[in-house]
Chain A
């Protein structure tokens, strides 16, 4: 890197400008990543936090995919699932989004109804007793012992536990019986829930689905059944993807121009006996230095900015993966873009150093 280091210092202005672009792109990608992770957590944390291997939905009509809003399972289905070989647990789970009120306050919440002792909800629920997630308690400003009104049901707050959230609303855990009353229109007398949380090893899930007219999905697959999740996550990931592509292209363009500008120097070095490998290593090292410096700085800014806003109402997740993952991707894509541009060093003819071009 003998020449590359000195070029970096000599052409300070150009490299600073390019470095700033990398810093800004990294900052933007970092913020977008934190926001994507934050929004995703608000959308799915109640589902991903379930201690279950799979979720069984009611089998959708032909050509449709499963969805939480369209699914209704019956007591006979979860009892039959529980009886199948290899299935260690089959617990009904009711999910319904509705308004909750306490004192003067109201909030949209997701009521998660579970059978008592099922182990998939925090303990403390029972007839007339509910457990609130932290943010539900905060929004309604209640503490254990207070009363909340869920739709038509008045219930005592038994405990405040966890930060489960579903479809951007905080979760309120209820007993299955209470949950069934919440949406009861009086016309469906049979016991019912939304999905069945299945656990077990070596069970034949497909055979169970076929026999019981359900469609069981892994937890990850089931996330797609949350209406807003896929669209929301998809568009954010698309934006991130575009930013990655833009950064690679911008860096590629910069190094293309830079390499063309210094091709006379490259010819001289070749004439003096520099091997092509030496020159490629030199140039690529320069790209790596600039990219790493820019990306580290941008990531630092994103972390600082994220720490500022993540305490408030903005859903923002700061963890090593959301912060360092995109940074690494930018470095890798940037090096690829630079490598493609730097390749033209191979084609520089040392004979031109003898000409009177300069």
Chain B
């Protein structure tokens, strides 16, 4: 299951005119491959993820998520697509304050109408995989910034997404943790055949990506093989 952006243009209202955040961007991420997106702040990296996650509708161009052409979908169908096929790791952790780490993951199963014991077990395993087995019953305010970010990552994996969109996952982590997270994402991508887009500032882990894309002023200006 792949992710395809085809000549996607996205503008935001900006005073009297409009600001072009994405300018005819095309990107094809096949299943099982990890594309890293780098670029200066404000270049349009998060906007690219937002379009791919169906959180915003582009002005023009096609977005095909896991074989589904998204332009014809209504809000409820887009929500279902996000729930069942897309995993999003947010730039900031975005955890729900009243839920424990384990529950942050369980809620994903609940949204899909699955509330079984297996969901709980899977949540436990995922927390274990990001090194948070001990902190499973802590709420966000009892976790460190890096721990929160790892819960954020584990949550995105909960519903076994075929498209994984990751925004700056390692910025709050030390080098070792960052490497471990990159390892986890690269491994998952290969094993489960997900199409993964990873936005990052951190050039140190780029060797784990299958390809690196640079975004500048809303345009993919350079594509380099590592």
> Taking beta carbons and an 8 Å cutoff, which residues of A are in contact with B?
2-3, 6-7, 9-11, 264-265, 268-278, 350-351, 353-354, 356, 358
Contacts of B107 in A (CB 8 A): 2-3, 269, 272
Closest to B55 in A: A351
For window 87-104 of B, CB contacts with A under 8 Å fall at 88, 90-92, 94, 96-99, 103
Interface status of B79 (Cβ within 8 A of chain A): yes
29 A–B contacts from the bound complex (CB under 8 Å): A2-B106, A2-B115, A3-B98, A3-B107, A6-B98, A10-B139, A264-B94, A265-B97, A269-B107, A271-B94, A272-B83, A272-B88, A272-B107, A272-B108, A272-B155, A273-B81, A273-B82, A273-B112, A274-B79, A274-B83, A275-B79, A276-B79, A350-B55, A351-B55, A354-B49, A354-B50, A354-B53, A354-B91, A356-B91
**CB <8 Å contact, A358 and B82:** no
How far apart are the CA atoms of A350 and B99 in the complex, in Å? 19
Interface status of B23 (Cβ within 8 A of chain A): no
Contacts of A270 in B (CB 8 A): 79
**Given A2-B110, A351-B55, A354-B50, does the pair A273, B94 have CB atoms closer than 8 Å?**
no
Closest to B111 in A: A274
* B: contact size bracket: 35 or more
Known: A276-B79, A353-B90. 8 other contacts (CB 8 A): A2-B103, A2-B115, A3-B99, A269-B107, A271-B55, A272-B108, A273-B81, A277-B76
Contacts of B98 in A (CB 8 A): 3, 6-7, 9-11
How far apart are the CA atoms of A2 and B106 in the complex, in Å? 9
How far apart are the CA atoms of A274 and B139 in the complex, in Å? 21
**CB <8 Å contact, A268 and B82:** no
Closest to B113 in A: A278
Closest to B112 in A: A273
CB distance from B197 to the nearest CB of A (A): 13
**CB <8 Å contact, A271 and B75:** no
**CB <8 Å contact, A354 and B167:** yes
Contacts of A358 in B (CB 8 A): 92, 94
**CB <8 Å contact, A6 and B99:** yes
How far apart are the CA atoms of A351 and B94 in the complex, in Å? 12
How far apart are the CA atoms of A305 and B50 in the complex, in Å? 59
Interface status of B46 (Cβ within 8 A of chain A): yes
For window 63-81 of B, CB contacts with A under 8 Å fall at 75-76, 79-81
**CB <8 Å contact, B111 and A278:** yes
Contacts of A350 in B (CB 8 A): 55
How far apart are the CA atoms of A269 and B155 in the complex, in Å? 12
**CB <8 Å contact, A356 and B92:** yes
Q: How many A-B residue pairs have CB under 8 A?
A: 81
Contacts of B79 in A (CB 8 A): 270, 273-276
CB distance from A188 to the nearest CB of B (A): 80
**Given A3-B98, A10-B97, A10-B98, does the pair A272, B111 have CB atoms closer than 8 Å?**
yes
**CB <8 Å contact, B96 and A268:** yes
Interface status of B84 (Cβ within 8 A of chain A): yes
Closest to B94 in A: A268
- Point out which of A271, A278, A356 has the most chain B C-beta atoms below 10 A from its C-beta: A271
Closest to A275 in B: B79
- Point out which of B55, B96, B106 has the most chain A C-beta atoms below 10 A from its C-beta: B96
CB distance from A308 to the nearest CB of B (A): 40
- Point out which of A265, A276, A354 has the most chain B C-beta atoms below 10 A from its C-beta: A354
Interface status of B19 (Cβ within 8 A of chain A): no
For window 13-30 of B, CB contacts with A under 8 Å fall at none
How far apart are the CA atoms of A297 and B55 in the complex, in Å? 44
How far apart are the CA atoms of A205 and B82 in the complex, in Å? 71
How far apart are the CA atoms of A275 and B77 in the complex, in Å? 9
Contacts of B129 in A (CB 8 A): none
Contacts of B190 in A (CB 8 A): none
How far apart are the CA atoms of A11 and B141 in the complex, in Å? 14
Interface status of B184 (Cβ within 8 A of chain A): no
How far apart are the CA atoms of A273 and B97 in the complex, in Å? 18
Contacts of B82 in A (CB 8 A): 271-273
How far apart are the CA atoms of A354 and B76 in the complex, in Å? 19
**CB <8 Å contact, B76 and A275:** yes
How far apart are the CA atoms of A264 and B92 in the complex, in Å? 12
Contacts of B56 in A (CB 8 A): 351
CB distance from A276 to the nearest CB of B (A): 7
Contacts of A273 in B (CB 8 A): 79-84, 86, 111-112
How far apart are the CA atoms of A6 and B90 in the complex, in Å? 22
**CB <8 Å contact, A271 and B96:** no
Contacts of B76 in A (CB 8 A): 275-277
CB distance from B56 to the nearest CB of A (A): 5
**CB <8 Å contact, B99 and A275:** no
How far apart are the CA atoms of A242 and B57 in the complex, in Å? 47
For window 119-173 of B, CB contacts with A under 8 Å fall at 139, 155, 167
How far apart are the CA atoms of A274 and B88 in the complex, in Å? 13
Contacts of B81 in A (CB 8 A): 273
Closest to B159 in A: A273
CB distance from A262 to the nearest CB of B (A): 9
